[in-house]
Amino acid sequence: MHAEKALLRKKMLALRAAETPEARRLRDRAITEAVCGLDAYQSAHTIFCYCATAEEIATDAIISNALVHGKRVCVPRCERPGEMTAREIHSLHELIPGKFGIREPQADRPIISPEEIDFCIVPCLCADLQGFRLGYGGGYYDRFLCQTSAFTAVLCDFSRLLRTPLPREATDIPCDCIVTERQVHSEK
């Protein structure tokens, strides 16, 4: 199972690396509009959203939209290997380079309990139609998501939305919807 996931990660990273900046920009804009148009997003009070790396689907516009609309926003902070907390922010300017080069809030930002979160936005390398995602293999998001009942959206490039089920382990947590630049696929 681990070898199968590792091979799939390698393939998806190669596909992602081949994307042009213009294609990424157009995709990111379409995904931002789709997320911000979701009923679950619009009705949410507290949003948890990943801070994208340069290669991932951009989330700054989603975070900014949530802040402008008065939502409580929290983003991940890696505390120890395998452990991630949600920390409240009021501006993207509060983020600093953290572990793995990913922007994160400083340690003094308030921790938001997973139970307080209404809507989660998580990254993936690819996802399947059942809502399972393939991440980077650290298990950070699966460990976090099992602590919340929030509606969870995974952002995925349409070309990496798989029609066949991903290899799964008991610890893999499905998401409620997959948002691509072409469609929103939801089981709820």
pLDDT tens column, 140-183: 999 999 999 999 999 999 999 998 999 998 889 999 999 999 99
Binding residues, as ranges, are 5-9, 56, 133-141
Share of the chain above pLDDT 70, in %: 98
What pLDDT does residue 13 have? 93
pLDDT at 101: 86
- Could you report the per-residue pLDDT of 29-38, keeping only the tens digit for each? 999 999 999 9
The dihedral through the CA atoms of 61, 67, 70, 75 has a sign that is positive
Given this model, what pLDDT does residue 154 score? 97
Q: pTM for the whole thing?
A: 0.95
Q: Where are the domains of the chain?
A: 2-186
Instruction: Please state which of the four CATH numbers 3.40.190.10, 3.40.630.30, 3.40.50.10420, 3.40.50.300 is assigned to the domain occupying 2-186.
Output: 3.40.50.10420
- Upper half-sphere CA count for residue 129 (Cβ side, 13 Å): 4
Q: Which residues are annotated as a binding site for substrate?
A: 56
Helix/strand/coil percentages in the chain, nearest 5: 35, 25, 40
**Over the Cα atoms of the chain, what is R_g?**
15
- The tally of CA atoms less than 13 A away on the side-chain side of residue 185 is 20
pLDDT of residue 1: 64
Q: Which of 79, 56, 71 is nearest to 120 (CA)?
A: 71
Q: Which two tokens stand for residue 14?
A: 């190669």
Q: What is the pLDDT of residue 96?
A: 96
The list of the chain residues with pLDDT below 70 reads: 1, 187-188
Q: What is the pLDDT of residue 188?
A: 58
* Annotated binding-site positions for ATP: 5-9, 133-141
